[in-house]
Amino acid sequence: MAQPDNPHSQTNMPHQENHQPDQMNQETKDDTATGETQNDMEHMNETNKEENSEKPQLTEDEQLQRLYALQKERRAERMKKEKEEEIEREKSRIITGKKTQDQLSKLEEQRRLIELENAKKEKIAHAREAKRQEDLLREEWKERFGQDYEPKSQSNDKANPTRTSRQNIAYWCSTIIRANKGKTEDKEMLKKCLNTLKTYINNVLANPNQPKYLTIRKENEAFKKRIASFHGAIEFLDSIGFKDDGEGHMAVKGTPDSYMMQLGLKYLDVQIDNFDALAR
């Protein structure tokens, strides 16, 4: 006898058949993905092995050579950099030095101008002081000796026959400083000449009867250095009574003229008192 159809059985069977294929498909996909990942990893490992196998391993000597080469390269770069820095420092030094030299030149020029200006002022001041001293000398000369002081323009190496003995003494006394102040840098020696002449006169006035004080040996070193080397000094001695005897001496013949000696002494005192102004 035939079994009746079961509608529920017919309906469920197809449903079970459809579900099983879907599950199988999913499992197949998972298996495929896993296989691909494994293949990729294997391929990468193979590739890495191939790359490593292509690079040969360096020996210890080769590694040292490579290290030395690297050190040499770095040293060369460092030296190059230091050289460039040295060049830059030298440039800076030159620029700074040039600026300093320019400043020094400007300062030197300013100093020179100041010195010129000071010298000019000093020259003017000296001229004024010399004029003042000369005016005082003229007044003192006139007051002491009753005659005018001879101006510098009247310098004459020869005895003037129109001058009196008194004028002759004054002339040669003033000539000693006037004629020699520009010819010697040692002003003290010029002053010593005047003082030595005073000593000769004082010795005669103090000892008029002693021949050794009335005679001066011309070859005496002190005489040559202190008297004969200054123009006008021998002429002054002649004007007060010391005459050349032709035998190497300046000597006073007979009794000394005390008046002329005293006059010469006074003229010398005036010259010495005003020496600093007159010897400029």
**Three-point CA angle 234, 183, 141, nearest 5°:** 60
Are the C-beta atoms of residues 181 and 210 closer than 8 Å to each other?
Answer: no
Average model confidence (pLDDT) across the chain: 77
Rounded to two decimals, what is the model's pTM?
0.47
Summarize pLDDT for 180-231 with one digit per residue, the tens: 887 766 788 999 999 999 999 999 999 999 999 999 999 999 999 999 999 9
Note the pLDDT of residue 37: 47
The more confidently predicted of residues 138 and 19 is: 138
Note the pLDDT of residue 215: 95
Euclidean distance between CA atoms 72 and 67, whole angstroms: 9
* pLDDT band at 15; cut points 50, 70, 90: very low
Summarize pLDDT for 265-275 with one digit per residue, the tens: 999 998 898 88
Are the C-beta atoms of residues 221 and 169 closer than 8 Å to each other?
Answer: no
Q: Which two tokens stand for residue 124?
A: 């003017």
For the cut 50, the answer to whether the pLDDT of residue 4 exceeds it is no
Which range among 124-128, 160-164, 266-270 has the greatest average pLDDT?
A: 266-270
Euclidean distance between CA atoms 138 and 147, whole angstroms: 9
Q: Which fold has domain 150-278?
A: Methane Monooxygenase Hydroxylase; Chain G, domain 1 (1.20.58)
Residue 80, classed as helix, strand or coil, is helix
Q: Which two tokens stand for residue 216?
A: 């001066």
Note the pLDDT of residue 227: 94
Q: Which two tokens stand for residue 110?
A: 């300013």
Note the pLDDT of residue 79: 92
Note the pLDDT of residue 11: 43
Euclidean distance between CA atoms 65 and 58, whole angstroms: 10
The more confidently predicted of residues 80 and 47 is: 80
Note the pLDDT of residue 77: 92
Average pLDDT of span 111-129: 80
Note the pLDDT of residue 6: 46
* pLDDT band at 57; cut points 50, 70, 90: confident
Domain boundaries, the chain: 71-149, 150-278
Note the pLDDT of residue 8: 44
What phi, psi does 220 have (nearest 5°)?
-60, 135
Note the pLDDT of residue 193: 94
Euclidean distance between CA atoms 124 and 130, whole angstroms: 10
Summarize pLDDT for 229-266 with one digit per residue, the tens: 999 999 999 999 999 999 999 999 989 999 999 999 99
| Start-end of H helices in the chain | 7-54, 60-145, 165-180, 187-206, 211-214, 221-223, 233-240, 258-273, 275-278
Are the C-beta atoms of residues 158 and 235 closer than 8 Å to each other?
Answer: no
